[in-house]
Structure 1
Amino acid sequence: MILDILFPNRCLGCNRIIPADLLVCELCFSNIYFTPSGYFDDNFIKERCRLLFPVENTFALMQFDKENLSRKIIHELKYKSREKAGEILAEWTIERLDFKDQKPDLLVSVPLHPKKLKERGYNQLHLFTEKLSEFYRIPFDHDIIKRNQYSKAQALKDKQNRLKSENVFSITKSITEKNILIIDDVFTTGNTIASIAWEILNAGNNKVSVLVMAMDA
């Protein structure tokens, strides 16, 4: 209570004081650009993914532009120890994502390297994935994909280095005949997701779909 008084939660958009369980005020929330495309639509991410690997369906919650509010939200989640922001983003996703009668079989989030996980203290995708799992009643597995290489933050890499991701991931368990939903925070080149997708596809007669918090066009 005292900390709430001394260090009140402030809107990431306008800096006004807001309840502790929110990221933005009502006014700034209306300024977030939520992508209009649904899970089954031929959207931008699906087009990009199809250039890299066979994909079933795709969904992006927000547009990730250089100066917009979604960038601040994702950065708070990843770099400012706002792990709980993942649950809020999951709630926003649930309001907009309809699997209809074609739910995936398993939710898999992009893993961090153990060294990066120790540095950050949490994987920014775990609470987000778990919240979706609970609502949609789809199992998740945080351990089925292993990151083999430690690297600096994706946001700090130049474009050429971001494209180099061979042998970054490996499968730790046998998995076949499943439709796997790969979950990540931001879709940029699609290279990270493609690396995981091919591991899943090559592991058996599997299919992959993609869900991201934001897409960077």
Structure 2
Amino acid sequence: MILDLFFPNRCLHCNRIIDNELLVCNLCFEQIHFTHFNYFEDNFITDKCKLLFPVEHTFALMQFEKENISRKIIHELKYKSRERTGKILAEWTCERLDFKDEQPDLLVTVPLHPKKLKERGYNQLHLFTETLSGFYHIPFDHELIKRNHYSKAQALKDKQHRLSTENTFSINKNISGKHILLIDDVFTTGNTLASIAWEILKAGDNKVSVLVMAIDI
């Protein structure tokens, strides 16, 4: 295509010209710090979540370290209108995550407030989750959880504000007896996930597992 000649796709890290379906070149891909977590074995996220709420299993795709490639990828997805990045991250996840015989019943994303959704134009988790849904044949529900308050981006908040999530979320539908896989972009304090998890757990005889694109350690 003519546009590809004038505006070729470039590696997010080193700026080399790459195929349109890629995020980074092969050399930079090798520098991404994937976690290699086993979904069924306790890891850093499991330990953190168990201090906040009952959790079944957890998985993180990448490490979210200062100045590393994964941080740049997530920021492109969230703040640079690169929604397609979510599909590629989901494909990387599918290559590394095996649910075996314990697939969750439903994929649920952390919601944006309607005002934030209008500002950004998309929820950065939706295409990621929909791609996972298609691969694993697990239904998703973007409407199950409602965010009750508008707030600035997590990355811009100080620690005290990040810790305050009381009454931030509510359940929109009746749900019981389900194993919910709760999906977010970056695991930091775990308080946002805990706030949603308790709403799900209180709603009925449900179980919660966690999947994030990256973990900030």
Q: If the TM-score is normalised by the length of the shorter chain, which range does it land in?
A: over 0.9
Give deviations 1:135-176, integer Å, cap 9, x for gaps.
101000000000001000110001111000101100000000
Q: Which segments of 5 or more consecutive residues in structure 1 lack a partner in the other structure?
A: none
Query: How far does residue 6 in structure 1 lie from its aligned partner after superposition?
Result: 2.1
Q: In structure 2, how many angstroms separate the alpha carbons of the residues matched to 1:101 and 1:52?
A: 27
Query: How far does residue 5 in structure 1 lie from its aligned partner after superposition?
Result: 2.1
Task: Tell me which residue corresponds to 1:47.
Answer: 47
Task: Tell me which residue corresponds to 1:145.
Answer: 145
Q: How high is the TM-score relative to the length of structure 2? A: 0.99
Task: Tell me which residue corresponds to 1:31.
Answer: 31
Query: How far does residue 12 in structure 1 lie from its aligned partner after superposition?
Result: 1.2
Task: Tell me which residue corresponds to 2:167.
Answer: 167
Indicate the larger mover: 103-112 or 12-21.
12-21
Q: In structure 1, how many angstroms separate the alpha carbons of the residues matched to 2:80 and 2:214?
A: 18
Task: Tell me which residue corresponds to 1:199.
Answer: 199
Q: Mapping of 1:89-100 within 5 angstroms?
A: 89-100=89-100
Structure 1 residue identity aligned to 2:86: G
Q: Does 1:215 align with 2:215?
A: yes
Q: In structure 2, how many angstroms separate the alpha carbons of the residues matched to 1:3 and 1:162?
A: 42
Q: In structure 2, how many angstroms separate the alpha carbons of the residues matched to 1:190 and 1:203?
A: 20
Give deviations 1:103-130, integer Å, cap 9, x for gaps.
0000001010000000000000000000
Give deviations 1:79-123, integer Å, cap 9, x for gaps.
000000000000000000000100000000101000000000000
Structure 1 residue identity aligned to 2:180: I
Q: In structure 1, how many angstroms separate the alpha carbons of the residues matched to 2:7 and 2:158?
A: 36
Q: Secondary structure at the match of 1:214?
A: strand
Query: How far does residue 70 in structure 1 lie from its aligned partner after superposition?
Result: 0.1
Structure 1 residue identity aligned to 2:212: V
Q: Secondary structure at the match of 1:55?
A: coil
Q: Secondary structure at the match of 1:132?
A: helix
Q: Does 1:10 align with 2:10?
A: yes
Task: Tell me which residue corresponds to 1:189.
Answer: 189
Q: Which runs of 4+ in 1 moved over 4 A?
A: none
Q: CA RMSD in A?
A: 0.7
Quote the sequence identity (%): 77
Q: How high is the TM-score relative to the length of structure 1? A: 0.99
Q: In structure 1, how many angstroms separate the alpha carbons of the residues matched to 2:96 and 2:178?
A: 24
Q: In structure 1, how many angstroms separate the alpha carbons of the residues matched to 2:25 and 2:120?
A: 27
